[in-house]
Amino acid sequence: MNSKAQISLEYILIALAVIAVISAITLSVTNLYSKNITAIDNKAIKNTAKELQSMLNIAELQPNFKSYIIINPLTEWEINKEQSNIILSNKNKEYLITSKNNIILYIKTIKKDTKIIVEKKDNIININIEELNESK
């Protein structure tokens, strides 16, 4: 074989080896990123469920109540009502939030930075959202 052809073939093999290594690294970094996003979102939904439960517990003790929390979900969250309970969930986790009062839920999904507003009047708890505008 010609020595110039052999050198070109060696460069091609080295380039293919470098591309293979970069591909393997990219795949592992992508998987790690996905797992971290999932873990962060699961922690955020757990904390949100705890805060909502605390707010509902306080609302049950007061005749009138209004408060809010600001959340930053990384994935889409769903919020559903079953009797006087709320189920807050994402793709991986589901949390039950209980109340003794009647709840009116005005939302079904939460997709981005949002303010969840909890208001109690006449023994009825209203839960609504207000999407926050990005002013950056």
User: Does the predicted TM-score (pTM) go above 0.85?
Assistant: no
% of the chain residues with pLDDT over 90: 65
pLDDT value for 136: 45
DSSP state of 122: T
Q: CA angle, 16 as apex, 12 and 22 as ends, to 5°?
A: 145
Residues contacting residue 133 through CB under 8 Å, at least 6 positions apart:
none
At 2, the pLDDT band (50, 70, 90 cuts) reads low
For 3, the 3-state DSSP assignment is helix
pLDDT value for 9: 86
Q: How far apart are the first and last CA of the chain?
A: 62
Q: What is the distance between the alpha carbons of residues 120 and 64, in angstroms, rounded to a whole number? A: 5
pLDDT tens per residue across span 76-100: 999 999 887 899 999 999 999 999 8
